[in-house]
């Protein structure tokens, strides 16, 4: 009942307890799915890693697939937040410097824990039609962010060759393959700077005067 939502137990409200429980399940999802793969992961595996009961899992998620989507969204949200922060904090506002800051933040967010890249680029692929549609919506969100950022930095009238949608699709496709390959490379991995410089070259095909 609604009046029970914020009832306090042991000094913590039910709202806080549920938020903590969900956080533990999501972290367990990153760890287990990122290590074993989605197909090999069971609800029991997730509950064991989270230290929570099966009944608690089903109070948060309908099934494994909804957990996978929630974990994916967490990884994507963290990556987007990292890029936004990097752009806001950049003291060098030249185009190349902004691209370096954004790309470095993105790759470090996804690549500092290879399990995050695996979930984003491997485990979400081919699960179901619903998951594919969700991935498409997230790609659209990134494409909109890229378009808005380019327009803000270059000008509202800027249109890359082929249009924003095709340019973003090409850029995200290249990024996906590079980060996915990098994350699967056994340590020591090549420096992140190599990916950044490659993506600058890709972006240079769409953005004029990148060194301005």
pLDDT in tens, 36-52: 999 999 999 999 999 99
Last residue of a domain, one of 10, 33, 61: 61
pLDDT of 7 reads 67
Last residue of a domain, one of 46, 61, 76: 61
Residues 2 and 91 in one domain: no
Residues 147 and 112 in one domain: yes
Residues 32 and 122 in one domain: no
CATH classification at residue 38 = 1.10.10.60
Residue-averaged pLDDT of the chain? 90
Residues 89 and 178 in one domain: yes
pLDDT confidence band for 9 (50 / 70 / 90): low
Residues 15 and 100 in one domain: no
- Asked whether 208 and 97 are in contact (CB, 8 A), the reply is no
Residues 208 and 158 in one domain: yes
* pTM of the predicted model as reported, rounded to 2 decimal places: 0.89
Last residue of a domain, one of 17, 42, 61: 61
- Asked whether 130 and 65 are in contact (CB, 8 A), the reply is yes
Tally of domains in the chain: 2
Bridge partner residues of 12 (DSSP):
9
Q: Looking at 14-155, which runs of residues are DSSP E strands? A: none
From residue 22, alpha-carbon distances to 1, 32, 90, 91, 165 in Å are 19, 15, 33, 37, 35
pLDDT, tens digit, 9 for 90 and up, residues 87-96: 999 999 888 8
- What is the distance between the alpha carbons of residues 116 and 20, in angstroms, rounded to a whole number? 20
Residues 102 and 192 in one domain: yes
Residues 153 and 188 in one domain: yes
Residues 193 and 114 in one domain: yes
**Residues of the domain holding 15:** 1-61
pLDDT, tens digit, 9 for 90 and up, residues 137-195: 999 999 999 999 988 888 889 889 899 989 999 999 998 888 888 878 888 888 888 88
Residues 164 and 201 in one domain: yes
pLDDT confidence band for 64 (50 / 70 / 90): very high
């Amino acid at each position: 009942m609604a009046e029970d939502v914020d009832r306090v137990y042991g000094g913590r409200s039910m709202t806080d307890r549920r938020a903590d429980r969900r956080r533990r399940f999501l972290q367990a999802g990153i760890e287990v799915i990122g290590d074993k793969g989605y197909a090999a992961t069971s609800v029991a595996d997730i509950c064991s890693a989270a230290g929570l009961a099966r009944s608690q899992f089903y109070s948060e998620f309908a099934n494994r697939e909804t957990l996978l989507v929630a974990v994916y969204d967490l990884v994507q949200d963290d990556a987007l937040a990292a890029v936004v922060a990097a752009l806001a904090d950049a003291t060098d506002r030249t185009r190349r410097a902004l691209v370096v800051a954004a790309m470095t933040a993105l790759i470090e967010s996804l690549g500092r824990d290879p399990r995050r890249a695996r979930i984003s680029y491997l485990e979400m692929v081919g699960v179901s039609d619903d998951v594919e549609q969700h991935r498409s919506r997230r790609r659209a969100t990134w494409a909109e962010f890229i378009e808005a950022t380019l327009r803000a930095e270059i000008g509202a009238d800027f249109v890359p060759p082929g249009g924003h949608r095709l340019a973003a699709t090409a850029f995200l496709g290249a990024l996906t393959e590079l980060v996915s390959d990098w994350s699967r490379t056994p340590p020591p991995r090549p420096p992140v700077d190599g990916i950044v410089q490659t993506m600058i070259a890709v972006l240079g095909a769409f953005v004029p005067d990148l060194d301005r």
